[in-house]
Structure 1
Amino acid sequence: MADQGFSDASMNDFATWAPVLRLLRAEKAGEPAGKPVRVAGRIGRHGWSLALTRRMPPPGRAAQVEDTREENEAVERVQSALADAGVDDVSFTAGIEATGRTTLRLLGPSPAVEPGIGTPHPGALILVDGALPEPWRRLPEPFPGAAPAPSADPELLERTLRERLPHAIGATEEEIAAAEARLGVALPHELKVLYRVTRARWEDLGGDHEAVMDAFMAVGCELFDLDGLHVADAASRHYLWGFAAMEAVSTSPDAMVQGLVGSPGWIAFGDNGGGDRLAVDLTPGPRGHQGQIIMLSHEESVGAGLVADSLTDLVLGRFGARPGGSGVRRPPAVARVNIASLSSVEAAAHPGLEVLSIGVWDDAPLSLAPVIGLPRLRTLTAYPGTLADPLEIAELTGLEYLELGPQEWRVLLDAGAVPRSLSAAAIEVHGDQDPLAIVALANEILGLWGRPRIVQTVLEGGLGPLP
């Protein structure tokens, strides 16, 4: 790893990190006296992961801010430096001698590495710049027979909205046309009617809370104004490779809504008040209606659920009673082999398999022979020690994502057998493994694709003797 300082002086100042390091050293107080200790962690601008034991409050008392004040203040000092440096997240490891002399190594960031979650180890390695997981590349299928629902009634919709919102200020035709030009799609008739009645600018309500609630009840959602109207395509749903590569999308023949991450035909126009977006669906499933109303959950990254057959139905409170989701949560394309799920790789193998996850296993290591040659297999994750022969991976020629333990990666690297079809990869780490060794392995993988490596910034200083 290369030595490289951050551009911001406070990030390169050992004093910025000293309070955090003292807390972590104190956590190791039970280890043999006089021996060096190693600590590690991750701090981001919006959260952190540190191996600190938080004291439980006395019985009968809730946790107080004071209980974690020292930790919070130490972390906030680093977070302030991260913000000044324009860095979102950094992991670190430090060796602390008995005298308090400390060598701190800041690891990253790298534009080719996603942050790890709850660990100082790197997250997914992006081997191909701009690569997207397959579900995020999937576009809607055309179903030419789709038509508006019989319940769609623009005249009834307009009459109802004007009765409920007699003082609303509507959008002009020019404003609606400008929104269509920005989105690159013509708004459906019902949606135009809605915005002709109300342009949904909260300043029009003069800060009147009762008027805000009336508007919510009149429409059935928190309506976006024309500037907030947006296409809920795949890019609008955030992802991390390690999770997104484990998803698979499918649309059953009787689905009302297509099983997609997003669609250029999903026009998001409101929020249910809990962070879930409502959208007009212009690319419905085989049994769906053009212009039906769907909801995209903020807790999920794939699929949408049917809310109403039309915007008219939504406003009138006539919600869809038929199953309208976009398919099963875990389609057959995703298979998990572990002590609680499938009992063999053979049981997972079929021509439509896209994702194979091998988890905790208490039997003999498994062979990948049953899935070699499967045409759609694109993701393989394997818990460390579960593969009989990691070199079988070289025969899985369609992989785009691979997650293995350090020893399995070592076998592939030494044999020159890392699949070149990969777009992203990850190292699965369990236990208290030295982040430096994992980062070195990650950099070796990144180097095969000529990607930016994880840099190391070395800081030295003293923490003083233990109190």
Structure 2
Amino acid sequence: MADASMNDFATWAPVLRLLRAEQTRVPAAGPVHVAGRIGRHGWSLALTRRTPPPGRAAQVEDMQEEYDAVEGVRGALADAGVDDVAFTADVAPTGRTTLRLLGPSPAVEPGIGTPRPGALILVDGALPEPWRRLPEPAPGAAPAPSADLELLERTLRERLPHAIGATEEEIAAAEVRLGVALPDELKVLYRVTRSRWEDLQGDHEAARDAFTAVGCELFDLDGLHVADAASRHYLWGFAATEAVSTPPDAMVQGLVGSPGWIAFGDNGGGDRLAVDLTPGPRGHKGQIIMLSHEENVGAELVADSLTDLVLGRLGAEPGGSGQRRQPAVARVNVASLSSVEAAVHPGLEVLSIGVWDDAPLSLAPVVGLPGLRTLTAYPGTLADPLEIAKLTGLEYLELGPQEWRVLLDAGAVPRSLSAAAIRAHSDHDPLPIVALANEILSLWGRPRIVQTVLEGDLGPLP
């Protein structure tokens, strides 16, 4: 945070004036407290936006003043090489303002829609368990009977008579880059068309024809990639509450990603299509799967082979491999399971305790479960937070501020944790949460959330 423009009060003043105006719609004699988060790719500010006319989507001009104010900060963040910063400010009636910039820290994920910190990464480079899961070997897997190289090539050449195909050298270079041999059907596809935009010479109709011919927006050889776990973005707070499994009758293995998933195209809506070389117990080697951009884990069967995809012979595995299956994940709340006892199962990995209207709950029923790795508990739902010390396999823990205070004061924070988070109500002041987060980070010797204090004057209200 050494960049002068980011640490210049004047950079933030337009945003603070907007927030102050929002807060003072109802006159108040005392100081105004505002907070928010601004990043290079978005922002979260408590501002009321003008409703666009019926039948028209919101436009930049509907929020022009907000956009202009935020852009000044985002430009400063970009100059400083900073992705995201949270802030709080106290504005006196005279306009005198104390602004606190919170972070960033390489050990803290940004909060979602809040100035409070997101997950605390306690172990550098640690990955949530589903992102560490590798595919089970499938030595007996074979291509589907429908895979037909001659039919595939003949069909593609009939549909794309003017396409330019990739050379054997180009295909070999792609295999070297990926570190995996391309399956025969995929080689046939690229020998017919290398799918380079420049080959189409700007002809959008030809691009549509290519989509229709193949059944997807085909990546060129440079865009071909392995859809392993690292290719799927995650935040700890969501990823740690996922669980993956592969039933004995599954066509697709329940995984975040696989070194045997070769992504070759897009369905036009942001979902990747891949050739699956590590199929499930009932799957075929070389089957076509889809990785949804709206899901963190799993993939769904699209076709038994690339030949089937091109010919439009599509199939689907009911539920896909992304379906969450009990009992690995259990949710106890007013709308789901009615007790911790109901969540007990030898295969339990994730226990999430949500909004709860009854007496606080004991964790005693889940003590000793061998696979329990994630616990999240809404503030005030635990009868005795110190019971957490008996859960010796936890990797991720998310608790309210008071529950964390109990663990910290007792020296009972589980040392098995790789990541943690503080769950607070929406109106909770970010500053005590930041202080609590820094205590937790310090236990692991991780970089703390730095506060930078800037003083300035916004002037009187207009």
TM-score, normalised relative to structure 2? 0.97
Post-superposition offset of 1:323? 3.1
Output the CA distance in 2 between the equivalents of 1:59 and 1:267. 44
Q: How many Å separate the matches in 2 of 1:108 and 1:62?
A: 34
Aligned: 1:272 with 2:288: no
Aligned pair partner of 1:204 in 199, 221, 224: 199
Aligned residues between the structures: 462
Aligned to 1:297: 292
Q: Could you tell me which residue of structure 2 aligns to residue 459 of structure 1?
A: 454
Of 437-446 and 24-33, the range deviating more from structure 2: 24-33
Map of 1:312 onto structure 2: 307
Q: Within 5 A, what are the aligned runs for 1:364-443?
A: 364-443=359-438
Alignment of 1:274-353 (within 5 A): 274-323=269-318, 325-326=320-321, 328-353=323-348
Counterpart of 2:180 in structure 1 is: 185
Q: Is the 8 A contact 2:377 2:399 kept in 1?
A: yes
| Distance in 2 between residues matched to 1:264 and 1:347, nearest whole Å | 37
Matches within 5 A, 1:30-429: 33-56=28-51, 65-323=60-318, 325-326=320-321, 328-429=323-424
User: What is the Cα deviation at residue 322 of structure 1?
Assistant: 4.9
Offset at 1:145?
1.7
For residues 9-50 of structure 1, the C-alpha deviation after alignment (integer angstroms, 9 at most, x for no partner) is 111111111111111111221566431221111011121111
For residue 26 of structure 1, what is the aligned residue in structure 2?
21
Structure 2's unaligned 5+ residue stretches are none
Aligned equivalents of 1:170 and 1:240: distance in 2? 40
Deviation, structure 1 residue 281: 0.3
* Contact 1:254 1:287 survives alignment (8 Å): yes
Distance 1:117 1:281 in 2: 33
Seen in structure 2, the aligned counterparts of structure 1 residues 161 and 33 have a Cα distance that, compared at 3 Å, is closer
CA contact (8 A) 2:300 2:322 kept: no
SS of residue matched to 1:419: coil
Deviation, structure 1 residue 146: 1.0
Q: Is the CA contact 2:243–2:329 (under 8 Å) kept in the aligned structure 1?
A: yes
Structure-2 separation of matches of 1:63 and 1:153: 49
C-alpha distance in structure 2 between counterparts of 1:319 and 1:434, whole Å: 52
Residues 297, 322 of structure 2: 8 Å contact kept:
no
Q: Which amino acid aligns with 1:225?
A: D
Q: Deviations over 1:121-158 (max 9, x none)?
A: 00000000000000000000112221110001111111
The one-letter code sitting in structure 2 at the alignment partner of 1:441 is L
Moved more, 319-328 or 428-437: 319-328
One-letter identity of the residue aligned with 1:445: I
Report the AA paired with residue 323 of structure 2: V
Output the TM-score relative to the length of structure 1.
0.96
CA distance in 1, matches of 2:426, 2:223: 45
Contact 2:300/2:317 (CA < 8 Å) preserved in 1? Answer: no
Tell me which amino acid in the other structure corresponds to 2:324: R
Q: Secondary structure at the match of 2:434?
A: helix
The Cα offsets for residues 312-335 of structure 1, whole Å up to 9 and x where unpaired, read as 111111111553721633442000
Distance 1:164 1:63, change over 3 A: closer
AA in 1 matched with 2:274: A
AA of the residue aligned to 2:212? M
SS in 1 for 2:244: coil
Quick one: percent identity of the two aligned structures? 89
Give the whole-Å Cα distance in 1 for the aligned partners of 2:431 and 2:13: 20
Residue 290 of structure 1 and its aligned partner are, at CA, apart by 0.5
Query: How many angstroms apart in 1 are the aligned matches of 2:49 and 2:198?
Result: 45
Q: Distance in 2 between matches of 1:399 and 1:70?
A: 46
Q: Which of 70-79 and 231-240 deviates more?
A: 70-79
Question: Which residue identity is paired with 1:285?
Answer: G
Residue-by-residue CA offset, 1:265-308 (whole Å, 9 max, x unaligned): 00001111111111000000000000000010111110001010
In structure 2, the partner of 1:3 is none
In structure 1, what is the Cα distance between the partners aligned to 2:187 and 2:411? Answer: 59
Pair 1:203–1:241, CA change in 2 (3 A): same
- With 402-411 and 163-172 compared, the bigger mean Cα shift is at 163-172
Stretches of structure 1 that go unaligned for 5 or more consecutive residues are 1-5
CA distance in 2, matches of 1:437, 1:458: 16
